[in-house]
């Protein structure tokens, strides 16, 4: 068999390379709007719940009232964790990062729900079979928030709080973390953040998940791989770094000089720039609006005052716009979440996007196996140990 021809041009980071087709999402160039299945994400955020958007990503259309009731009933019925999984969460190192603990928890789910003789991928529809990829996706959608909340409680020396089936996903997450559901505007802002984070094309973690799926591994493994990719500060972990940055700046009066010094010293400033958006992330205005709503309820304007100065300086000096992580970080902090919880919340949302792409990969699978340009030594003989200098 002849070897495949080497690529004529190297695209570092696969920038600009089209590797497959997808009907899940697209940034429309004429409007600069991220769309899910053709719907602008800012419209979905204003008019829909996260559950409606999850259904849309997986089914291709927004649900009817009856379809939504069936979907939410299936999700809510699976929120509880098994006792062995809960017991294992209690044994996690208390200093472990929550991204490591949720990754481990999802891996545990894979052991519970994937039998050794189960068919993994099939060219058949992802919704067929028992259990199907879709069934497992619903399982993760239901249980990942419970894993994150249980670990949060255990790390603080508190008992986990059982999920409630009469609450929405966002309401239930607050309940499991803090034992109460906050003001409806806080819940809405959180729900909006999940919608905005749910999907974004062939980003690093989604591509990672599709690579794993292309090997005909299981959907839990694809999700675990996605979590590992999302943990990085150049991807999902950026929202955590944004809040650390705002706390380092401290107050609005210091923000301009802080940014000027950071740029002069060529420091990586998190929360700005995007591989896809060049004239501004279409999700930012929506997240900023709801984040400021939370700030008004909490009576805390400091973080947005600092953010406004940092954004203005970056635009003036570098013409670089903020991305979704920039307003999401302070919004989560004002909601009461500790900084290391921000990226696990991202996981709760992006599970829907990963699963939608795994369904696509399964339906028309081809192993993802790119080439490299070799730059090492030419073939050479192996010298015996005694002959090596």
Residues with catalytic roles: 235, 274, 325
CA 53 to chain centre: 15
- Cα separation, 378 vs 123, whole angstroms: 41
The bridge status of strand 33-36 relative to strand 25-28 is antiparallel
Tell me the backbone φ, ψ of residue 191, rounded to 5 degrees. Answer: -60, -40
- Cα separation, 196 vs 36, whole angstroms: 10
Strand order, beta sheet including 25-28: 25-28, 33-36, 39-40
Helix (H) or strand (E) holding 34: strand 33-36
- Cα separation, 73 vs 142, whole angstroms: 10
- Cα separation, 31 vs 75, whole angstroms: 34
Cα dihedral 37/213/201/267 (nearest 10): 160
CB 148 within 8 A of CB 102: yes
Query: Which residue do the tokens 């999302």 mark?
Result: 230
């Amino acid at each position: 068999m002849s070897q495949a021809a080497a690529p004529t041009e190297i695209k570092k980071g696969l920038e600009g390379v089209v590797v497959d087709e997808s009907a899940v999402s697209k940034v429309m160039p004429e409007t600069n709007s991220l769309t899910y299945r053709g719907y602008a994400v800012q419209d979905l955020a204003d008019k829909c719940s996260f559950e409606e958007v999850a259904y849309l990503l997986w089914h291709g259309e927004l649900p009817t009232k009856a379809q939504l009731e069936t979907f939410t009933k299936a999700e809510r019925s699976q929120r509880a964790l098994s006792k062995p999984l809960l017991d294992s969460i209690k044994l996690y190192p208390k200093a472990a990062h929550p991204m490591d603990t949720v990754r481990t928890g999802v891996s545990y789910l894979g052991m519970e729900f994937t039998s050794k003789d189960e068919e993994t991928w099939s060219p058949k529809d992802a919704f067929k079979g028992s259990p199907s990829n879709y069934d497992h996706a619903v399982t993760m959608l239901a249980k990942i928030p419970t894993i994150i909340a249980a670990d949060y409680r255990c790390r603080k020396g508190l008992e986990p709080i059982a999920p409630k089936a009469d609450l929405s996903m966002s309401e239930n997450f607050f309940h499991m973390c803090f034992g109460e559901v906050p003001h409806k505007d806080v819940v809405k802002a959180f729900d909006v953040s999940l919608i905005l984070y749910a999907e974004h094309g062939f980003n690093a973690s989604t591509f990672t998940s599709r690579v794993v799926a292309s090997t005909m591994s299981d959907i839990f493994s694809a999700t675990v791989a996605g979590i590992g990719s999302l943990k990085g500060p150049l991807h999902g972990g950026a929202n955590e770094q944004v809040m650390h940055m705002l706390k380092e700046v401290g107050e609005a009066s210091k923000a301009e000089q802080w940014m000027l010094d950071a740029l002069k010293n060529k420091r990586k400033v998190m929360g700005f720039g995007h591989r896809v958006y060049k004239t501004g992330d279409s999700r930012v205005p929506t997240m900023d609006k709801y984040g400021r709503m939370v700030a008004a309820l909490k009576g805390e304007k400091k973080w947005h005052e600092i953010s406004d100065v940092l954004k203005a300086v970056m635009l003036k000096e570098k013409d670089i716009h903020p991305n979704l992580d920039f307003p999401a970080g302070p919004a989560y902090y004002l909601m009461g979440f500790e900084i290391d919880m921000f990226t696990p919340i991202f996981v709760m949302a992006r599970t829907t996007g990963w699963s939608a792409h795994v369904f696509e990969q399964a339906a028309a699978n081809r192993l993802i196996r790119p080439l490299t340009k070799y730059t090492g030594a030419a073939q050479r003989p192996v010298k015996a140990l005694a002959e090596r200098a």
